[in-house]
Chain A
Amino acid sequence: KQEVTQIPAALSVPEGENLVLNCSFTDSAIYNLQWFRQDPGKGLTSLLLIQSSQREQTSGRLNASLDKSSGRSTLYIAASQPGDSATYLCAVDSGANSKLTFGKGITLSVRP
């Protein structure tokens, strides 16, 4: 059974700092990995999707990497801003049916 872990559960950084959020998964036979953002009281918004054949994906200040063999992914946020404050969830798709297994998320607070 696939398990996804995100540590730490919470992170607080000053504005402008570059930061890395980590995600690990137990079964390396994945189809893709996705990063989502969740604002308080809201649903999830997809940020990046990395196919199993890819090593990384970039969108603006966000860069996600994937190392299947070690069961790890990182989400890099450059020049963090207070508006980046949210919970970031990592999710792994272990098959072609798009059935996702989620980590519990990292709650990020960017201090002005």
Chain B
Amino acid sequence: DAGVIQSPRHEVTEMGQEVTLRCKPISGHNSLFWYRQTMMRGLELLIYFNNNVPIDDSGMPEDRFSAKMPNASFSTLKIQPSEPRDSAVYFCASSRRTGLGETQYFGPGTRLLVL
């Protein structure tokens, strides 16, 4: 398996622009997680889906952020409009939820810089 795939790997944009980050989870995994990592705050969970349904979006910082999972093999995280403080590394992770607590497999991340 190719693992969790994220695109783009790097994104540089200007303040006010829309940014869309993409994720393809590992086939057969039914849980998907979006994280943001910064030096100041560390790794924070933004939102997670189970069977394509958003379960908890309490970590989404504000209405400028939105996430979708239209099917089991694809998810997007959108920021509109983007701001310099959104600069961070965004990770997508997936797991096979069995109720026993499963290992999460992380993608390589998208490094976002908002100028």
Within 8 A of A (CB), among B1-43: 4, 31, 33, 42-43
Interface of B is mostly: strand
Interface of A is mostly: strand
Q: Return the contact of A49 from the options B48, B91, B101, B109 (Cβ within 8 A).
A: B101
Which residues does chain B contribute within 8 Å of A105, judged by CB atoms?
Answer: 42
Whose C-beta in chain B lies nearest to the C-beta of A34? B103
Within 8 A of A (CB), among B43-79: 43-45, 48, 50, 55-56
Chain B interface size band reads 20 to 34
Q: Is A10 in the interface zone, CB < 8 Å from B?
A: no
Whose C-beta in chain B lies nearest to the C-beta of A103? B42
Q: Is A61 in the interface zone, CB < 8 Å from B?
A: no
Whose C-beta in chain A lies nearest to the C-beta of B56? A99
Q: How far is the CA of A49 from the CA of B4 in the complex (A)?
A: 19
Known contacts A98-B95, A99-B56, A46 near B101 by CB under 8 Å: no
Whose C-beta in chain B lies nearest to the C-beta of A36? B106
Chain A interface size band reads 20 to 34
Q: Is A51 in the interface zone, CB < 8 Å from B?
A: yes
CB distance from B28 to the nearest CB of A (A): 15
Give me the interface of A with B, judged by CB distance under 8 Å.
31-32, 34, 36, 42-46, 49, 51, 89, 93, 96-105
Give me the interface of B with A, judged by CB distance under 8 Å.
4, 31, 33, 42-45, 48, 50, 55-56, 91, 93, 95, 97, 99-109
